[in-house]
Amino acid sequence: MNKKMLSHEIVDGFTAAIREQQIYLCYQVQINHSTGRMVGAEALMRWEHPDFGLQLPSDFIPILEEHDLIYSADIYVFESVCRFLRKCLNDGVPIVPISVNMSRYDVFNHDYVEEIENIRNRYGIPVKFLRIEITESSAIGGMKLMIDVIDRLKTRGYVVEMDDFGSGYSSLNILKNLNVDMIKLDIGFLDGGIRGRGGIILSSVVQMAKWLGTPLIAEGVETMEQADYMKSLGCNYIQGFLYARPMPEDEFLQTLRQTEHEPTVPAMRLIEAMDAGKFWDPDSMETLIFSNFVGAAALFTYQEGKTEILRVNEKYTRELAMNLSAQEVIGLDPRQELDEENWEIYESAIKKAISSHDEVSCETWRNLHSKCCGNDHICIRSFIRVIGCAGKQHLIYAMVQNITAEKKNYRDLYDSDRRFRFATEQINVYAWEYTFATKEMRPCFRCMRDLGLPALVRNYPEPLIEAKIIPEDFAGMYRDWLRRLADGEEHIEGVVPLTIGRIPFYFRYTTEFDETGKPLKAYGSATLISEEDG
């Protein structure tokens, strides 16, 4: 009897559908698997068309989104939920928080937050009974917009949930930026099986969520085995066919009357959620996540003005870009790298993280030294969290980003390249340095200006070959030069025609070695071969 509607039938019929109440809601309960009590429910849209029968949201919602009709639909759903909750409150029916779905299109060109606030106030529903579900893909439309919407929802007291979490690895990064209160993990991708890879991914994600201090709801749970497995991972909240399918309003009303309720536990404090000792166990899940699933991160202790790095992951040393090994970083006191002013900024961020139990971010300039790169001045943005404490000593987890490039403006760059620039501008040569270990090339000001190169060229010389600055028929020879230099040759010279104009330049390379005789960098220069020379 149910017939799938065509796109134009959906668009044409939808306004009447709302007016004539063909659109209605089903509710699907969320249960604490450990206690059997209800902790919430999700409102799901249904469309019973008089001619075409019941329509699935997955069929008509994308069409509504495409045609900017989803906003009125979602507002209609929100109001229906408020009306239902008002009725329950009036009749003395105990209620649970209801989650409603927000489409990312709801916030483009619409003041969604203002509108739902008006409705909620009109029905006098306490905000703790309403939750907003957003999806990871919402951020596609613009991270900033999403961060702003979440902020505004949270300021007004709404619990914000990340729906369909775990559909991609990028998730962890998005999660880091979107400050949600709860995560809904769709376990549909397990296809029933909890063993093997799926199970491992799942347990990492659960661990990650715990680590961030965010409660989880497992969605799409169909079997007792799945529910028990989720419980074993510490995720007790379940929404799925195992407990109940989405049910119409009157049936949900009965369920509300008959089932015991309990509140969802507010975000656990990391400090309680995490067993810091596990960080030292190389086989623990914490270690696995630390090394594989998060960005550049470090663990250090702080005690009365003293800091000491305990552990860093590989991405951390890469982020510093100083070619330091983890062994060289461990045991360092970051304070030594900071001047008075920057230490003050850093320490006050640590203190704030301690007193607020929250993540605090700051930006500090550091003086780093490594054998390979000498002294460097870099700017680090840190996100600091306290994850444990013993007496006056605090264990701190910091995610870091090297934002030096972001910070250094054109002027700085110009200055730092002075040694090159002066020489090269005078004698009319192009100059650059090439670091063997990282395959990074730093061009002089003139190269940047005339060839349009960035301040740092990675994977040199490939980008220049791709851009046809170095012609293809010379690429092989040129790569071979770099290989020979890396193998220890001290000088190489020769002619290379540059750009599609094939303008001939005389190239010279000189290698710099470290004290053990290992090649570190090559200094390159190129001079135009003028007619007279030839």
Query: Catalytic residue numbers?
Result: 219
> Which of 186/337 has CB closer to Ca ion?
186
CB neighbourhood size of 370 (10 A)? 17
Contact (Cβ atoms closer than 8 angstroms) between residue 376 and residue 386: no
- Classify residue 493 as exposed, middle or buried by CB count within 10 Å of its CB (0-12, 13-18, 19+): exposed
Q: Using CA atoms, how far apart are residues 284 and 295, in angstroms rounded to an integer?
A: 18
As measured in angstroms, the least distance from the Cβ of 386 to ligand C2E is 34
Which string of DSSP letters, residue by residue, matches 310-325? EEE-HHHHHHHTS---
As measured in angstroms, the least distance from the Cβ of 178 to Ca ion is 15
Which string of DSSP letters, residue by residue, matches 392-450? TEEEEEEEEEE-HHHH--HHHHHHHTHHHHHHHHHHTEEEEEEETTTTEEEE-HHHHHH
Applying CB under 6 A, the span of 82-90, 220-228, 249-257, 459-467 interacting with ligand C2E comes to 220-228
> What is the x/- site pattern for Ca ion, positions 150-189, by CB under 5 A?
-------------xx---------------------x---
The correct pick among 22, 30, 80, 101 for binding ligand C2E (CB under 6 A) is 101
163 binds ligand C2E (CB under 6 A): yes
The correct pick among 69, 130, 162, 221 for binding ligand C2E (CB under 6 A) is 221
List the interface residues with Ca ion, window 79-118 (CB under 5 A).
101
Whole-number Cα distances in Å, 421 to 263, 373, 406, 416, 461: 66, 20, 22, 9, 21
List the interface residues with ligand C2E, window 60-89 (CB under 6 A).
61, 70, 74, 77
As measured in angstroms, the least distance from the Cβ of 263 to ligand C2E is 22
> Which of 237/481 has CB closer to ligand C2E?
237
220 binds ligand C2E (CB under 6 A): yes
The two structure tokens encoding residue 456: 């740092």
Applying CB under 6 A, the span of 57-65, 112-120, 273-281, 431-439 interacting with ligand C2E comes to 57-65
> What is the x/- site pattern for ligand C2E, positions 382-411, by CB under 6 A?
------------------------------
Whole-number Cα distances in Å, 380 to 276, 320, 377: 25, 8, 10
74 binds Ca ion (CB under 5 A): no
Nearest-5° Cα angle at 33, 26 to 81 = 25
Nearest-5° Cα angle at 115, 112 to 117 = 110
CA atoms in the 13 A half-sphere facing the CB of 171: 22
> Would the CA dihedral through 338, 342, 343, 345 be positive or negative?
negative
As measured in angstroms, the least distance from the Cβ of 46 to ligand C2E is 7
- Contact residues for Ca ion (CB under 5 A)? 101, 133, 163-164, 186, 219
- Contact residues for ligand C2E (CB under 6 A)? 28, 44-45, 56-58, 61, 70, 74, 77, 101, 103, 163-164, 220-222, 240-241, 246
